[in-house]
Amino acid sequence: MFTFSCPISFSITCSSSNGNIQNHGDYRVNINVNGSSCTGRPIKHHTLLNEVGVKEGSTSLSAIQFLENGHISEEKIRQRIPRQKLLVDPYRQGLITERGVGYRQTVVVRSYEVGPDKTATLESLLNLFQETALNHVWMSGLLSNGFGATHGMMRNNLIWVVSRMHVQVDHYPIWGEVIEIDTWVGASGKNGMRRDWVIRSQATGSTYARATSTWVMMNEQTRRLSKIPDEVRDEISPWFIQKQAINEAVPDKIVKLDDKAKHVNSDLKPKRSDLDMNQHVNNVKYVRWMLETIPDKFLERHQLSSIILEYRRECGSSEVVQSLCQPDEDESFANGVQQNLLTNKVLVGGNGRLGSLDINVLTYGYTHLLQTQNEEIVRGRTRWNRKICTGL
- Segment 278-296, tens digit of pLDDT: 678 888 899 999 999 999 9
Q: Return d(Cα 289, Cα 266) in angstroms, integer.
A: 11
Q: Write the pLDDT tens digit of every residue in 166-194.
A: 999 999 999 999 999 999 999 998 899 99
Nearest of 377, 283, 390, 270 to residue 318 by alpha carbon:
270
d(CA 195, CA 211): 8
- Give the pLDDT confidence score for residue 41 in this predicted structure: 42
Count Cβ atoms below 10 Å from residue 94 Cβ, excluding itself: 23
Q: Are 373 and 260 in contact (CB under 8 A)?
A: no
Catalytic residues: 278, 280, 315
Q: Would you give the DSSP letter of residue 337?
A: P
Beta strand residue intervals within the chain, DSSP E:
12-16, 22-24, 28-33, 36-40, 88-89, 94-97, 102-108, 158-169, 178-188, 192-201, 207-219, 225-226, 263-268, 302-311, 321-327, 363-371, 376-386
Q: Phi first, then psi: what are they for 33, rounded to 5°?
A: -125, 115
Instruction: Say how many C-beta atoms besides its own lie within 10 A of residue 116's C-beta.
Output: 8
pLDDT of 196 reads: 98
- Of 100-104, 128-132, 328-332, the poorest mean pLDDT is in 328-332
Q: What pLDDT does residue 317 have?
A: 82
pLDDT single digits (tens) 66-93? 444 555 567 767 878 888 899 999 888 9
100, with CB counted inside 10 A (0-12, 13-18, 19+), is exposed
DSSP conformation letters of 27-49: TEEEEEETTEEEEEPP-S-THHH
Nearest to 165 by CA among 323, 283, 325: 283
pLDDT exceeds 80 at position 348: no
Paired strand residues for 380: 309, 368
pLDDT tier, 125 (very low <50, low <70, confident <90, very high otherwise): very high
pLDDT tens figures, 271-281: 888 888 767 88
Mean pLDDT of 307-315: 93
Q: Indicate if the pLDDT at residue 50 is higher than 80.
A: no
Note whether 3 and 13 are within 8 A (CB): yes
Return phi, psi of residue 236, to 5°: -95, -25
Summarised one tens digit per residue, pLDDT across range 12-22 is 334 444 444 34
**For residue 10, what are the β-bridge partners?**
none
What's at 171, amino acid-wise?
H
pLDDT of 61 higher than 50: no
What is the pLDDT, as a whole number, of residue 275?
A: 85
- Which residue segments constitute the domains of the chain, with CATH numbers given? 74-251 (3.10.129.10), 254-330+361-391 (3.10.129.10)
Closest by CA to 369, choosing from 213, 256, 252, is: 256
Tell me the average pLDDT of the chain: 78
Do the Cβ atoms of 170 and 219 come closer than 8 Å?
A: no
Residue 253 banded pLDDT, cuts 50, 70, 90: confident
Position 163 scores a pLDDT of 93
Q: Residue 384's pLDDT is what?
A: 97
pLDDT value for 280: 80
Sort residue 57 into left (φ over 0), alpha (ψ -120 to 50) or beta: left
CA atoms of 361 and 334, how far apart (whole Å): 7
Q: In sequence order, what are the residues at sequence separation of 6 or more whose Cβ sits closer than 8 angstroms to the Cβ of residue 258?
A: none
